[in-house]
Chains A and B, each alone.
Chain A
Amino acid sequence: MTNIIYKHRFLILRRIVQVGLMLLYLAGNMWGWTFIQGNLSSSLLFQSVPLSDPYAVLQMFAAGAIVSSNLIIGALIVTLFYFLLGGRVFCAWVCPVNMITDAAAYLRRKLQLDSVSKKQPASRKIRYWVLGLSLVLSYVLAIGAFEFVSPIAITHRAIIFGMGLGWAMMLIIFLFDLFVLKNGWCGHICPLGGLYALIGKVGLVRVAHDESKCTVCMKCKVVCPEMQVLHMVGKSSEQVLSGECTNCGRCIEVCDDDALNFSIRKLAKERGNETSN
């Protein structure tokens, strides 16, 4: 039992953070709890600290909106937070869509769908195209283009402010990830994930690989939602430096050889063939 918990320690923590945050938002709406109010687009922490989605603010800039200082401060706080942490911590630890796509990926593994279709028919670069396209559209339409279609916003609003047809969007994302494209939404298309991949490129918290301990079982690559970031596994000891790594910690949990661990990023010059700290 303790082993199962240990083998899922980050997963459990992530679910606690994700569900807990949604519950706090929900309590903010339902019972006026003042811990955190609003939603993931923009919120108010302790009735004083503004927090804003940097991507939504970016779209507002592109649309030519007058962006208030409140919003800029909120977006800067959020950006700085994830910039320092590194990787797509938002995606793995905060975003509620992650639970949907993780469930789809889990079911995909259990149904062994990947043994049928090995090669994924889409590029992981699509998200950057969508990111660029959303800013162009925001400019052309003079309105935040992604915010009116965002499955992320639909999901967290559905949870916090009432479901509507929001469940249909969640179901579509689930089925898309299950049958159409492995890690389809979070790993290929989502422009918010794309933006956080850019923001989190140089952050501090990094998964480090120790090649000397690795037995090349590849469990980490099977479970990783962004397996291209683990290109060094079994080859060389280095840190996972891609911003696309979500820092979810699944690879660390599934590794039976202690060859993967969280670490603090080393400065560029010290890097090389050394193992993690």
Chain B
Amino acid sequence: MGTTRREFILSTTRAIGLAALGGLVWGAYVDEVTANKLMLRPPGALDEADFLRQCIKCGLCVEACPFDTLQLARAGSNKPLGTPYFEPRDVPCYMCPEIPCVPVCPTGALDITKVSTDNKLDINKAQMGVAVVDAKNCVAFWGIQCDACYRACPLLDKAIYLEYSKNERTGKHAFLKPIVDSDFCTGCGLCERACVTQKAAIFVLPREVALGKVGDHYIKGWDSSDDKRVKNAEATTTTTEISKESAIDSLNDTEVLLDD
């Protein structure tokens, strides 16, 4: 008997419609579930978007980690499913010099070159995140002596240093304030683990979340190496009524002000 043309068209369009509906729901779900920006990734991880694309979710990095730091995101955890992450308040990264989690990665989602100096593994180059201090809730900023995070830091005096200042309230004591230098901080989270407050007042955030970006409009005039940062800057000049004349002329021109 065979199918009629109408049947064929109907069944085809029905299949396409179902595929479109399914694809929409499926795509929206994947988009949502991968939108979590607060994941701390293993050392050497690519940028989050690239990482999510490269990672095959095999867990070899998790198995290689000797401290049970790394976990694979489980179903129901509201994290990108099956991808490796760590929570430093529970178990921080202890920054093994041999970095066992990275070379074992089969996909390059953990990039060995990102944690190497001169082809040698160098865990101090890791950029898992950056520690941020909540100065309101850090007891050192209250004037109580605490250098737990500073002592815990594997890059002591580089990634976290203490800033001394006078405590005007007592007039005879000093503040020993922990300051994070994001140039050195690897985001290992030993400070977050060590913090004495009920909820850690120093905590690690992904670098894209925690750090700002100056852009091309400002430059350290006193630091010649900063020129490199704005090497590719493009100058855009806007012309307004005032900027037509030279700056001094337009400042001295009071007519514009007096007109109204």
Contacts and interface: CB of A to CB of B under 8 A. Distances in A.
A164 B74 contact: yes
Given A43-B58, A44-B106, A161-B59, A147 B82 contact: yes
B146 interface: no
B143 interface: no
A143 interface: yes
Interface residues of B, number: 36
B196 interface: no
B26 A137 contact: yes
Contact of A163 (B19, B29, B63, B74): B74
B75 A41 contact: no
A147 B56 contact: yes
Given A37-B60, A141-B30, A165 B75 contact: yes
Contacts of A129: 15, 18-19
Nearest to A37: B63
Interface string B50-94: 001110111110110000000110111100111000000000000
B124 interface: no
Interface string A80-119: 0000000000000000000000000000000000000000
Interface string B8-32: 0000000100110011001101110
Contact of B26 (A41, A50, A133): A133
Nearest to B62: A161
Contacts of A67: 107
Given A157-B82, A168-B76, A38 B26 contact: no
B33 interface: yes
Nearest to A44: B60
A145 B30 contact: yes
A162 B104 contact: no
Given A37-B63, A43-B58, A129-B19, A68 B75 contact: no
A166 B75 contact: yes
Interface in A148-197: 148-149, 153-154, 157-158, 160-166, 168-169
Contact of A137 (B23, B52, B82): B23
Nearest to B30: A148
B49 interface: yes
Interface in A28-70: 28-29, 32, 37-39, 41-44, 50, 52-53, 56-57, 60, 63-68, 70
Interface in B118-148: none
Contacts of B106: 38, 42, 44, 50, 52, 68, 70-71, 74
A161 B74 contact: yes
Nearest to A142: B53
B204 to A, nearest CB: 22
Nearest to A34: B63
A71 B59 contact: no
A52 B56 contact: yes
18 contacts: A28-B63, A37-B60, A38-B60, A39-B58, A41-B57, A42-B60, A42-B106, A133-B19, A137-B23, A137-B27, A143-B34, A147-B56, A148-B80, A157-B74, A161-B62, A161-B72, A161-B74, A165-B75
Interface of A: 28-29, 32, 37-39, 41-44, 50, 52-53, 56-57, 60, 63-68, 70-71, 74, 129-130, 132-133, 136-137, 140-145, 147-149, 153-154, 157-158, 160-166, 168-169
Given A141-B27, A158-B74, A165-B77, 10 more contacts: A32-B63, A60-B56, A65-B54, A130-B22, A133-B23, A145-B30, A147-B82, A148-B33, A154-B75, A166-B76
